[in-house]
Amino acid sequence: MASSSSSSSSITSFVFPFLFLFLLLSPSSNADSLKACNFDGIYQLGDSISDTGNLIRENPNTPFSHLPYGQTFFNSTPTGRCSNGLLIIDYFALDARLPLVNPYLNKDALTRHGINFAVAGSTALSSELLSKKKISSLLTNSSLDLQLDWMFSHFNSICYDQKDCDEKLKNALFLVGEIGANDYNYALLQGKTIEEVKEMVPEVVQAIKNAVERVISYGATRVVVSGNFPIGCFPISLTVFQTNNTTDYDEYDEYHCLKSLNALASYHNDQIKQVIEVLKKENLHTVIVYGDYYNAFLWILRRASMLGFDNGSLQKSCCGIGGDYNFDLKRTCGNNGVGVCPNPDKVISWDGVHLTQKAYKYIADWLILNISPKLNCTL
């Protein structure tokens, strides 16, 4: 048996690096911080923007399970995060002075400070509903309704009754989304027109509204409901839907983003904001806040050079190959022969679909400053 001094030394050597990273990555102390709420847990629903390891437990063969994913922060041990490092949810946890939130399907992980139910590739609508629209869910069938069932099962296992759950969850932060983008992306990639996809928006938004109502029924008192990114700015969209004239002002905006796809995202976001207002009136004792991913992303795009990003690579993938945007749908990041840029911190897009750790850090900072005052917490 090891001596107590050697055991203590081992524990210190294990804990110190994580403590150092915690201090290094946490935003500086100020009133506009999640720590003002004194949250004791975070519960996340969503897709690849938030997944910290559920998909790779469903499918260990996904590219997200190996390098170069996770190379910046996690070195040789990728966790299933769809980036080179940390995600928005990770920076939220750090800002709230909580441990990083473990994935639900990691049954060995600690769940005392919340659980992440998000699954990369998931949709707001069930795979059955999408199938009726002749749309295939490409990566997973763990849609929003299944994630909510997981959440219910978890709370059912830790709560004696509703009163006990209310007590346990009164100081937790619930994050619903971002989700819904995959419903639209899959539809577009499988040949649906913008107008056909636009007809899906009310149904997708209703599914998200139902999800918020369910988490409130479980005992949530503070909920952030996030909208979609400007998907017309991403390398995957710019590549797949590229026009013959890439300077056409009818098709592209001043940031060289596709207007039609950003209009679709804005339409979705406007409906999400309307739903939030309805939910607020129906749930007077619950704080519900909009997470504005769209404007957080545009804030980075407008100030890219000041934030240290390379203006020549703003809409190119760091991990990718070929074409105007360093992206090929048939040869994506993680596949043989697909390279990685020398400095991901200079690039916004990691793999054409997801962002780099640095971009997520700035988006998280923007969101925290935006939502913290609305959560009605005090230091």
Q: How far apart are CA 63 and CA 186, in angstroms?
A: 19
Tokens in use for 202?
A: 């009310």
Half-sphere exposure of 308 (CA within 13 A, CB side): 9
Which pair of tokens denotes residue 283? 């749930």
Quick one: tokens of 348?
A: 């916004």
Helix (H) or strand (E) holding 320: strand 319-320
Find the catalytic residue in 183, 292, 328, 354.
Answer: 354
- Residue 168's contacts (CB-CB under 8 Å, 6 or more residues apart) are 158, 159, 219
Backbone φ, ψ for residue 176 (5° rounding) = -105, 105
Q: What are phi and psi of 126, to 5 degrees?
A: -70, 160
Residue 334 identity (one-letter amino acid): G
Question: Of residues 48, 83, 237, 349, which has the active-site annotation?
Answer: 48
- Give the pair of three-digit tokens for residue 373: 């005052």
Instruction: Judge residue 166's burial from the number of C-beta atoms within 10 Å of its C-beta, 0-12 exposed, 13-18 middle, 19 or more buried.
Output: middle
Segment (H or E) for 18: helix 4-25
Among candidate residues 113, 122, 351, 372, the one labeled active-site is 351
Give which of 175, 28, 26 is closest to 95, Cα–Cα: 26
- Give the C-alpha separation, 253 to 358, whole Å: 24
Classify residue 111 by burial, with Cβ atoms within 10 Å: 0-12, 13-18, 19+: middle
Told to judge if 5 belongs to the known catalytic residues of this protein, a careful annotator would answer no
Phi, psi of 289 (to 5 degrees): -125, 145
What's the length of the chain? 379
Asked whether 18 and 98 are in contact (CB, 8 A), the reply is: no
Q: Catalytic residue at 48?
A: yes
> Catalytic residue at 351?
yes
Helix %, strand %, coil % for the chain, to 5? 45, 10, 45
Asked whether the beta carbons of 45 and 144 are under 8 A apart, the reply is: yes
Residue 48 to residue 282: CA distance in whole angstroms: 30
Q: Which residues are catalytic?
A: 48, 351, 354
